[in-house]
Structure 1
C-alpha cells in the first residue's frame, strides 16, 4: 500500500509533536485509520457551529486566514511525513467545508447536512478542474487548493438548492 495511505507510529508521532502537524491533521481528526477526509470534515463542523453567528465578511476573513495557515501547516507536515498530500492532512477539509457552508449561515439546520454531503461528494469525485489542480499543484498550496475548489462547487450547489426550495 502507498505511503499516501499508511500512517505508521513514527508518522503519527511527528504530526503530534509539531504545531504544523497538529493543525494539518485537523487537531487529530485526520489520524483515524480510515475515512480521514470524512472525519476531518466532521471535525470542521464543530468550529463552524461555534462561529456560525459571524457575518459573511468575517467568515471570509476566517477562511482566508485558515487557508494561509493551512498552506504553511500542510507544507511542513508533508515534509515531516515525506508525502506531499497524505490522507491524514485534513486541514484542507476544514477550509473547504467552511466555504461550502457559507450559504448555510442563513439557512435551516438541514442545509449544514446538505452542505457537508455536497462537499464530501465534490471532494471525493473531483470533477474538472478539481482533479486537474490536484494532480498538478504540489506542496501545502496544492493540498489546500483542490478542497477550496470543491468547497466553492459545493457552496454553489448548496446555494442553488436553497434557492430552489425557497
Structure 2
C-alpha cells in the first residue's frame, strides 16, 4: 500500500488529519494544520502543556511507525504528525500574539528543512517511528531556543 487509509484513525493522525496529502510541501501544510490545534492547547498551564507534548510525542512514535510500515515507506512525506509536535514544542511559553506564532512557524520550518547537527544526523540514523519524530522534536527545540531569545530581546 502506498496511499494512506484516512478511515484508519492511525493513518488519519499520522497524516495530520489529511493535511499531509497536500501535493506540494506537505510538511509545511502539516505545520500549518497544527496551528489551530495549538490555539486549543495554548491556554493549558505549563505542566499540562508539557504532558500533552510528551503524550503527543509517544503517540507519534507509535502512529508514525505503524503508518510507515503500512505504506512500506520510511518517513513518507505525507506523515506530518511529527510537524505537529515540532511546532507545539517551538511554541512552548511563546509570548501572546499571532506575530510570535508566525515567527515560531517560520523558525520551525527553517530548522526542519535545514537540519543542522544533530537534526540531520537523527534524520539519517534513527529508524522507525522514533526516527520520524526525533528530528522534528530537535528542530522544535532549536526553533524554541531562537524564539525565546527573540522574545527576550524584543518583548
TM interval, shorter chain, is over 0.9
Tell me the TM-score normalized by structure 1: 0.90
Cα distance between partner residues in 1 of 2:45 and 2:25: 31
**CA displacement at 1:55 relative to structure 2:** 1.3
Given that residues 104 and 143 in structure 2 are in contact (C-alpha distance below 8 angstroms), is that contact kept between their aligned partners in structure 1?
yes
Equivalent residue pairs, number: 155
Cα distance between partner residues in 2 of 1:33 and 1:100: 25
Cα distance between partner residues in 2 of 1:109 and 1:30: 23
Q: Any runs of at least 4 consecutive aligned residues in structure 1 with deviations exceeding 2 A, and if so which?
A: 106-109
What is residue 2 of structure 2 aligned with on the other side? 11
What is residue 124 of structure 1 aligned with on the other side? 113
Task: Indicate whether 1:96 and 2:104 are aligned.
Answer: no
Tell me the TM-score normalized by structure 2: 0.96
What is residue 108 of structure 1 aligned with on the other side? 97
Cα distance between partner residues in 1 of 2:5 and 2:49: 27
**CA displacement at 1:64 relative to structure 2:** 0.4
Cα distance between partner residues in 1 of 2:154 and 2:44: 24
DSSP-derived class of the 2:43 partner: coil
Cα distance between partner residues in 2 of 1:157 and 1:124: 16
Cα distance between partner residues in 2 of 1:90 and 1:133: 17
Out of 143-152 and 50-59, give the one that drifted further: 50-59
DSSP-derived class of the 1:54 partner: coil
- CA-atom RMSD, angstroms? 1.1
Structure 1, unaligned runs of 5 or more: 1-9
Given that residues 15 and 77 in structure 1 are in contact (C-alpha distance below 8 angstroms), is that contact kept between their aligned partners in structure 2?
no
